[in-house]
Amino acid sequence: MAAPPAVDGRLLVIYASQTGNAVDAAERVGRQAERGGCPAVDVLPMDSFDPSCLPSEKFVVFVVSTTGQGDPPDSMKGFWKYLLNKNLSARWLEGVRYAVFGLGDSGYQKYNFAGKKLDRRLLQLGAEPIIQVGLGDDQHPSGYEGTLDPWLLSLWETLNQITPSLLPRMSDIINPDLSILGDAKVEVIYHSSDEAQQEPSLSDSKNLIERARSMSPALQFYHDDKGPQYMLQMVSNQCLTKEKTDRDVRHLELENPSSGLTYQVGDALEILPSQSPSAVDSFIERCKLDPDCYITVRAKGSLLNGFIDCIKLKTFVALTMDVMSFFATAEHEKEKLQYFASPEGRDDLYQYNQKEGRTVLEVLEDFPSVQMPFEWLVQLTPPLQKRAFSISSSPLAKPNQIHLTVSIVSWRTPFNRTRHGLCSSWLAGLNPNEESLIPCWVHHGSLSPPHPSIPLILIGPGTGCAPFRAFVAERAAQSTSEPTAPILFFFGCRNQDKDFLYKDFWYAHSHDQGVLSSKKGGGFFVAFSRDQPQKVYVQHKIEEQSARVWKLLMSGAAIYIAGSSTKMPADVTAALEVVICQESGCSREDASVWLRKLERKGKFHIETWS
């Protein structure tokens, strides 16, 4: 970990991102500062900056996302731990001026928690805020950009008052010349066929993926792993929901054809999806490029070390670029793009792009006069990111397999266009035992695996049941050789006949001496929300089983919640508070404190997704 040398008149922009939005926002901060003539601008991921160097900085902008239930992104955890060091004095950051912009979703209970906590801690350590913390909200009609634009304008105006020499061309920020594209930060070198280093064959997929993704400057912002841990083969693809329902949930089984697998319950599997070859071909054709030529992609100004690695252009696009630009030659298209780029057009741009789920290829086809240099497309096209899925199997029960419970994503846009999730749709279309292998990485999840002696209260409606299928299978395997504690599992779905995921699995483990059986002190309770006039959810079942829940809590149970990030976690937490109040006689406030203490002990876990 290192820090760039301190430079007078330098603006340092540090970001912590989980899905890429904070990267985009931080890059915008950097571009606007450069446009305003800032002598030096550095945009860095938080985990590449040495926090001990922070006192030597004069002006720092932090852009941080909040994940899950108020958690910081992975790249922020080390930095945040350093800032919490009790040896740091209240004057440690004296002389540092800072600004924090947070990205979050007000639909979550702990909205923008990471940004708010960072702002408070910097203040405690003696740093002086340039302006108030900005809170980007995905629920805003324009997304987080609806807050970012006015926040940035306020930031530049205040900085210009503090030190005019930092932004000598302030007018270029306020009234930018949209006809000037500027210089790309990415360089693309084209090679003749005799210069090209032969790329790995398709049979050596690991090296091919590693070469392409290590070359992408965009993916370096995401700290993409250097190579896939496993190339897995799909051996089962089963639909768990009935055909005549609007939901398609699949049970997928993957295995390693060459060796074993190393993972634990609570982990997630990250998958790099394949893009449609026709879409990749159309994108390259639209860019008027030769798909078979060889290229080297690198950050502009990077040093050469004698050997220049290269890769086929089509391979690079397919493995790194998730196939908008402001560069049109036709006047009517130019006007529309410039309108989209203006503050007045921000809401319409958000509607056109994010709400409609436009791909880069669709945008280019909508504006046929656009001739965007490939260097800019490499820089601006969203990188092809891995998608993470909770593992729903136990390595004790299935040592050479990983099971996934995948909801096939599809939705209708405001203009009634059907859109499909790239990775889930691709997985759903794969046939078991095909020769093609799936590039996968095992990622440690936020649900730490419990000791067999700890009782469990699991709440997982819908596909939130995925990690708990793994927990139950693991405990069942453990119970054959050692004593295990009981499990209460609360599951919810819409209809018993349509989307009762893993019905036979749960019932098998809740009968006789199964780990979910009442004979073992456990239980399985399911809420069918649409099978009766009055909607019934998991929180109602929790309150119905108040005595059992309290009995397990009193015997040292850990609580795990997984599923949708909307109202469910808050509703379930409220139901648990009701149980504590009812069974112990304490106040609601005391019940909330009791759960927070449980969380600090590592016995209250929440994993949610949008």
Q: Which residue ranges are tagged as binding site for FMN?
A: 17-22, 65-68, 138
The DSSP line for 385-425 is --EEEEB-S-TTT-TTEEEEEEE--EEE-TT--EEE-HHHH
Phi and psi torsions of 412, nearest 5°:
-105, 135
What are the structure tokens assigned to 323, written together? 């196939």
C-beta contacts of 140-147 below 8 A and 24+ residues apart: 141/347, 141/350, 142/346, 142/347, 142/349, 142/350, 143/350, 143/354, 144/21, 144/25, 144/103, 145/346, 145/350, 146/346, 146/347, 146/350
Residues at the binding site for FAD are 387-390, 421-424, 609
Tell me, what DSSP letter sits at residue 115?
H
CA distance 54 to 96: 8
Contact assessment for residue 16 and residue 65, using Cβ atoms and an 8 Å cutoff = yes
- Torsion 589-595-601-606 (CA) sign: negative
What are the structure tokens assigned to 430, written together? 């794969």
31-48 core/surface letters (b: 16 or more CB in 10 A; e: else): bbbbbbebeebbbbbbbb
Residues at the binding site for NADP(+) are 463, 529-530, 535-539, 571
Q: How many CB atoms lie within 10 A of CB 491?
A: 26
Contact assessment for residue 66 and residue 102, using Cβ atoms and an 8 Å cutoff = yes
Q: How many CB atoms lie within 10 A of CB 100?
A: 27
Q: Side chain identity at 475, as an amino acid letter?
A: R
Tell me, what DSSP letter sits at residue 166?
G
Query: SS3 string of 199-252?
Result: CCCHHHHHHHHHHHHHHCHHHHCCCCCCCCCEEEEEEEEEECCCCCCCCCEEEE
Determine the 3-state secondary structure of 18 from DSSP. Answer: coil
CA distance 124 to 88: 10
Determine the 3-state secondary structure of 295 from DSSP. Answer: strand
Determine the 3-state secondary structure of 498 from DSSP. Answer: coil
Phi and psi torsions of 266, nearest 5°:
95, -15
Contact assessment for residue 523 and residue 462, using Cβ atoms and an 8 Å cutoff = no
Residues at the binding site are 17-22, 65-68, 138, 387-390, 421-424, 463, 529-530, 535-539, 571, 609
CA distance 54 to 187: 31
- Burial class of residue 390 in the structure, from the number of CB atoms within 10 Å of its CB (0-12 exposed, 13-18 middle, 19+ buried): buried
CA distance 549 to 572: 13
**β partners of residue 61:** 13, 99
Element (H, E) at 299: strand 294-299
Contact assessment for residue 536 and residue 530, using Cβ atoms and an 8 Å cutoff = no
